[in-house]
Amino acid sequence: MSLLAIPLLPLAAVLFSLVPLGKRVAPAVTLIAAAGALALAVTNSLRVVAEQHVVVVAGWVELDGLSAILLLLNTFVSAMAALFSWGYIAAHQREERRIRSYYAHFNLFTFSMALVPVLFQPAFVWIAIEFTAVFSVLLVAFENTHAALEAAWKYIALMFTGAAIALLGFFILFWAQQKVGAGHYSWSGLVMVAPQMSPVLVIAAFVFILVGFGVKVGFVPMHTWLPDAHSQAPAPVCALLSGVKTTNALYVILRLAQLLPIGRVNLWMQVIGLVSVGVASFLLLQVRDYKRLFAFSTVEHMGIIFIAAGLGARGGSYGAMLQMVSHSLTKSFCFFAAGAALLVLGTREIASVRGLIRTSPTAGAALLFGALAIGGAPPFAVFLSEFSIFRAGLERGDYVVTALLAIFITVAFFGILLHVNRMVFGQPPEKPSTHAALPFTCVLTLILAAIPILVFGVYQPAKLHELVALAAANISQAPSP
Partner 1 sequence: MTDPNVIIWLHNLNALTGGLFLLVLFGLVSVRQVGGCVRLFIALSLLLAASAFLLSAIYHTWHLSVVGVVDIATKVIAIPLLLRRVLPDEVYTRREVAQVLNIPTALLTALLLAIVAYLLSKPLMAVGDGIAIGVNLPIGLSGLLIGGLTAAVRREAVPLFLGLLAMENSAFFAGIGVAPEMPLIAEVSIAFDVLILVFVVGVLTRAVHEHIGTTEVGTLTALKEEPER
Binding site for partner 1 (CB under 8 A): 121, 123-124, 126-127, 130-131, 134, 137-138, 141, 144-147, 149-154, 156-157, 160-161, 163-165, 167-168, 171-172, 174-175, 178-179, 185, 198, 200-201, 204, 227-228, 231-232, 283, 286-288
Tell me whether residue 96 or residue 143 sits nearer to partner 1 (CB atom): 143
Residue 185 CA to residue 460 CA, distance in Å, equals: 35
The residues near 132 (Cβ < 8 Å, ≥ 6 apart) are 109, 112, 113, 116, 245, 248
Residue 253 CA to residue 305 CA, distance in Å, equals: 12
Strand partners, 54: 63
Tell me whether residue 59 or residue 428 sits nearer to partner 1 (CB atom): 59
Tell me whether residue 60 or residue 268 sits nearer to partner 1 (CB atom): 60
Tell me whether residue 200 or residue 400 sits nearer to partner 1 (CB atom): 200
Half-sphere exposure of 26 (CA within 13 A, CB side): 28
Smallest distance from the beta carbon of 10 to partner 1, in angstroms?
16
Four-CA torsion 449, 235, 70, 441, nearest 10 degrees: 40
Tell me whether residue 157 or residue 447 sits nearer to partner 1 (CB atom): 157
Tell me whether residue 287 or residue 464 sits nearer to partner 1 (CB atom): 287
Smallest distance from the beta carbon of 399 to partner 1, in angstroms?
33
Four-CA torsion 56, 60, 66, 71, nearest 10 degrees: -70
Closest CA to 364 of 342, 382, 379, 348: 342
10 Å CB burial of residue 430 (0-12, 13-18, 19+) is exposed
Tell me whether residue 185 or residue 318 sits nearer to partner 1 (CB atom): 185
DSSP code per residue over 418-441:
HHHHHHHSS--SSSPP-PPPPPHH
Tell me whether residue 157 or residue 400 sits nearer to partner 1 (CB atom): 157
Tell me whether residue 231 or residue 330 sits nearer to partner 1 (CB atom): 231
Smallest distance from the beta carbon of 320 to partner 1, in angstroms?
29
Helix (H) or strand (E) holding 55: strand 53-57
Tell me whether residue 151 or residue 308 sits nearer to partner 1 (CB atom): 151
Smallest distance from the beta carbon of 198 to partner 1, in angstroms?
5
Q: Per residue in 432-467, is it b (16+ CB within 10 Å) or e — as a string?
A: eeeeeebbebbbbbbebbbebbeebbeeeeeebebb
Smallest distance from the beta carbon of 174 to partner 1, in angstroms?
4
Residue 431 CA to residue 423 CA, distance in Å, equals: 16
DSSP 8-state symbol, 194: G
Residue 213 CA to residue 237 CA, distance in Å, equals: 20
Sign of dihedral through CA atoms 334, 339, 342, 348? Answer: positive
